[in-house]
């Protein structure tokens, strides 16, 4: 019985870790523009291109498997019943993202996993590409002249005042990065929220709360 319980715990652990990871994922510049400005034409084209590529790859894999020579059938072997082929044209239809205002929790807002060194306002090298895509999005014609709040958020590890100050420094650091990438500083308003605004469905100590949110002001 003990072995069964231990085995169940080991299988459950990855599920808990995944849930704590949160919904924040890296985004392309076109997706950021879509979420901030509700201008989703470029992002829809990006998704359609990705879908076509996935369809071609799926077809290639099926053809490769079909070309594999069949193995000999053993004596008294009962072959399994063949599955009915999936009818052509039954794939879910493509829904333009613009009709659903992308994947943003609210129109005019995007959440990004831009990470910083522990206890620091230094953007990690692994997050610089995402920060650069944010700069590209803000500089696009669709967003020209629009102002944004750059909000820094932390998890609840440490005191509230410490995290408020840290999140503000991180927002300032991201604004400095965006300005160095060609964004007009007057369009950016850095704010630090500490752990006061955790992601929906996650506890304040969840690692996914360490994030940046960009909100359209006007």
Give the residue extent of every domain in the chain: 24-54+92-216
Q: How are the residues of the chain apportioned to helix, strand and coil, as percentages rounded to the nearest 5?
A: 50, 10, 40
How many Å apart are CA 171 and CA 150, to the nearest integer?
Answer: 6
How many Å apart are CA 152 and CA 193, to the nearest integer?
Answer: 6
Give the CA distances from residue 54 to residues 47, 59, 102, in Å, rounded to whole numbers and listed in that order: 10, 9, 20
pLDDT digits (tens, 9 = 90+) for 77-127: 344 444 444 444 444 333 334 334 444 447 899 999 999 998 999 999 999
What pLDDT shows up at residue 143? Answer: 85
Residues in the chain with pLDDT values less than 50: 2-22, 69-105
Region for residue 102 given its phi and psi (left: phi exceeds 0; alpha: psi -120 to 50; beta: otherwise): left
31 with 43: CB under 8 angstroms? yes
Domain 24-54+92-216: state its class. alpha beta
Nearest Cα neighbor of 30 from 119, 126, 103, 84 is 103
How many Å apart are CA 44 and CA 208, to the nearest integer?
Answer: 27
Is residue 178 exposed (0-12), middle (13-18) or buried (19+ Cβ within 10 Å)? buried
Query: Residue with structure tokens 């950021």?
Result: 32
Give the CA distances from residue 20 to residues 43, 108, 207, in Å, rounded to whole numbers and listed in that order: 28, 26, 7
pTM of the model: 0.68
């Amino acid at each position: 019985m003990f072995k069964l319980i231990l085995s169940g715990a080991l299988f459950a652990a990855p599920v808990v870790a995944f849930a704590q990871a949160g919904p924040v994922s890296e985004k392309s510049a076109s997706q950021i523009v879509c979420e901030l400005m509700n201008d989703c034409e470029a992002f829809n084209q990006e998704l359609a291109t990705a879908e076509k590529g996935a369809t071609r790859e799926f077809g290639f894999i099926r053809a490769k498997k079909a070309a594999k020579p069949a193995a000999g059938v053993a004596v008294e072997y009962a072959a399994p019943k063949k599955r009915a082929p999936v009818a052509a044209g039954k794939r879910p239809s493509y829904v333009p993202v613009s009709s659903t205002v992308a994947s943003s929790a609210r129109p005019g807002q995007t959440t990004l996993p831009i990470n910083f060194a522990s206890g620091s306002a230094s953007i990690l090298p692994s997050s610089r590409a995402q920060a650069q895509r944010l700069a590209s999005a803000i500089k696009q014609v669709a967003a020209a002249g629009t102002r944004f709040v750059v909000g820094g958020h932390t998890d609840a590890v440490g005191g509230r005042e410490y995290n408020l100050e840290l999140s503000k420094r991180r927002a300032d650091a991201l604004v400095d990065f965006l300005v160095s990438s060609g964004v007009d500083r007057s369009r950016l308003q850095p704010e630090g929220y500490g752990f006061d605004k955790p992601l929906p469905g996650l506890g304040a100590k969840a690692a996914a709360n360490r994030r940046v949110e960009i909100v359209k002001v006007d």
